[in-house]
Amino acid sequence: MDNSYRFINSGAGGLPATEIFLKTVYTITPSLLIKKKGELTAGIKNLEKLGFKVLNKKPAAKLPSTFRKVAQLHAAFLNKKTQIILAHRGGYGSMKLLPHLDFDLIRKNPKILAGFSDLSALLNVISERTGLVALHSPMIINFSPPSRFTIRSFLNAVNGFPRRNLFEGAPVKVYRPGIARGLLKGGNLITLTALLGTEWETDTDGTILFLEDVNEKWHEVDRYLTQWMFAGKLRNVKGLVLGNFRGIKNRDVYNILSTQMKIDFPLVHCSYIGHVKNKITLPVGARAELNTRKKALTLL
Which range marks the domain in which residue 271 is found?
A: 172-299
Q: For residues 176 and 268, state if they share a domain.
A: yes
Q: Which of 11-20, 218-227, 266-275 has the lowest mean pLDDT?
A: 11-20
Distances from the Cα of 236 to the Cα of 72, 128, 181, 208, 228, angstroms: 36, 17, 12, 10, 12
Give the rounded percent of residues in the chain with a pLDDT score beyond 90: 88
Residue 163 lies in a domain: no
Phi, psi angle pair for 236, to nearest 5°: -120, 20
Whole-prediction pTM value?
A: 0.92
Q: For residues 37 and 135, state if they share a domain.
A: yes
Last residue of a domain, one of 158, 186, 210: 158
Predicted confidence (pLDDT) at residue 15 exceeds the cutoff of 90: no
Q: For residues 50 and 96, state if they share a domain.
A: yes
Predicted confidence (pLDDT) at residue 285 exceeds the cutoff of 80: yes
Q: For residues 141 and 185, state if they share a domain.
A: no
Predicted confidence at residue 20, as pLDDT, reads: 43
Residue 19 lies in a domain: no
Question: What's the structural domain count of the chain?
Answer: 2
Residue 18 lies in a domain: no
Predicted confidence at residue 74, as pLDDT, reads: 98
Instruction: Find the helix packing angle between 250-258 and 218-230, rounded to 10°.
Output: 30
Q: What is the pLDDT of residues 230-244, one digit of tens each?
A: 999 999 999 999 999
Predicted confidence (pLDDT) at residue 48 exceeds the cutoff of 50: yes
Q: Which of 5-9, 38-42, 152-156, 258-262 has the lowest mean pLDDT?
A: 5-9
CATH number for position 243: 3.50.30.60
CATH number for position 49: 3.40.50.10740
> Quick check: 276 and 155 in contact, CB under 8 A?
no
| Distance of alpha carbon 142 from alpha carbon 56, whole angstroms | 18
Q: Which of 59-63, 78-82, 88-92 has the lowest mean pLDDT?
A: 59-63
| Across 103-109, average pLDDT | 98
3-state DSSP call for residue 277?
coil
Predicted confidence (pLDDT) at residue 12 exceeds the cutoff of 80: no
Confidence of residue 14 (pLDDT cuts 50, 70, 90): very low
